Amino acid sequence: MRISELSRKSGVSVPTIKFYIREELLPAGRLTSATQAEYDEQHLRRLRLIRALIGMRGLSVEAARQVLGALSEEQSSPHLVLGLALGAIRLSEEPTEESEQLAAVEALIHELGWQVHKDAPARSVLAETLASLQQFGMALDWHALLPYARLAEETARLDLDQLDGVTDPLELAERAVVLTTLLEPALMALRRLAQEHESAQRHKE
């Protein structure tokens, strides 16, 4: 396909496609003349993934380039592809300070029996949340998070069920990013609706 058709199918403008090529996010097409190039389905899949990483995950061009490079090296492992696409695995080592909250997160993960990368950014997010709760006088320990973690397990199963049967690494990564990014606000909205319903049930007048 020509670049105009690639643009139409991907929803990415021609100038943006050319920018991605210059930034080496997208491989150049096969030259058919001095001014024309052809693109194939792999270009389309990669372009859709780039759009998901930058437009949905909010990655910078440099961060997206790093993710795409890592994905190219790990295409044979769907588990690593998902971890890299969703940001569950750090691409560079960042020192983390040991804290009481991080120890609590480690205890939670151990209790659940979860297989989680030692540098998963979500560990720090949980630790920071526990610290913030403590500052507001709600010193919840990791045991209080167990019921929420079980709900998260079920949500994760539903998420990965949506990806069953996808074998192309680029398509798998793109679908995972789109599914996670677009569903997160919906999950929050469902929680708010459920809270309203539960409150109505508990406080009937």
Question: What's the rounded Cα separation, in Å, for the pair 165 and 9?
Answer: 22
- Mean residue pLDDT of the chain comes to 90
Lowest mean pLDDT: which of 40-49, 82-91, 103-112, 113-122? 82-91
**Please, what is the angle between helix 78-86 and helix 61-73, to 10°?**
170
Averaged pLDDT for residues 82-104? 78
DSSP 124: H
Alpha-carbon gap, residue 31 to 38, rounded angstroms: 6
* Residue that is written with structure tokens 């492992």 in the block: 77
Question: What's the Cα-to-Cα distance from 54 to each of 10, 44, 74, 109, rounded to whole Å?
Answer: 14, 15, 20, 30
User: pTM value?
Assistant: 0.81
pLDDT on residue 4: 94
Q: pLDDT digits over 104-138, tens only?
A: 999 999 999 999 988 889 999 999 988 888 888 88
Which residues, in sequence order, are bridge partners of residue 179?
none
Residue 117 DSSP one-character state:
-
